[in-house]
Structure 1
Amino acid sequence: MGWFWVRLRHYSYRKPFWFELKEIIRTIVIFAVFDLALVAFSKWQFSRYVWVFCWTFALILLPLFRAMTKQLLNRLGDLEEKDCHYG
């Protein structure tokens, strides 16, 4: 969450959908590789099928639920930018 907020500015700067999706997928892949390395180096008895299943679901569901949440907030009017006009 901190990575998205501070580094990628997903919660403070509005980005196009495809650019944001690319960053989300890249971040999920990076965390999946770190997780795979952790499992491999710790020599845990962990099924590769379960690992692939979990990370594939994360790769599909996280962007999907994020897009659905943004759409819901847009409909409720909570995601609109507030404009202030002077002059």
Structure 2
Amino acid sequence: MTSLETELKAFIIETLNLEDVQVDDIDSTEALFVDGLGLDSIDALELGVALQKKYDVRIDAKDENVKTHFASVQNLAKFIQSAKGA
């Protein structure tokens, strides 16, 4: 697990006010939505806005890869790293 993944887990918990969820409870490869962590579309919007502000990345809802980027913490970390490197 990378430090960015750990940071993202804490960020998700804080941003979405996930009570009773700890960083260690989230598997980096686990699905964030529906199965896995169980987030919904409202959570996705809130998380997307917060990620754009914190990491200064552009998230295009019309991009066909958005679902892939948000599939797991690991994918989010890869997306942020590639967006920051571009």
TM beyond 0.5: no
Output the TM-score relative to the length of structure 1: 0.27
Larger RCO, structure (CA 8 Å, separation 6 or more): 2
Output the TM-score relative to the length of structure 2: 0.27
**Higher-Rg member (1/2):** 1
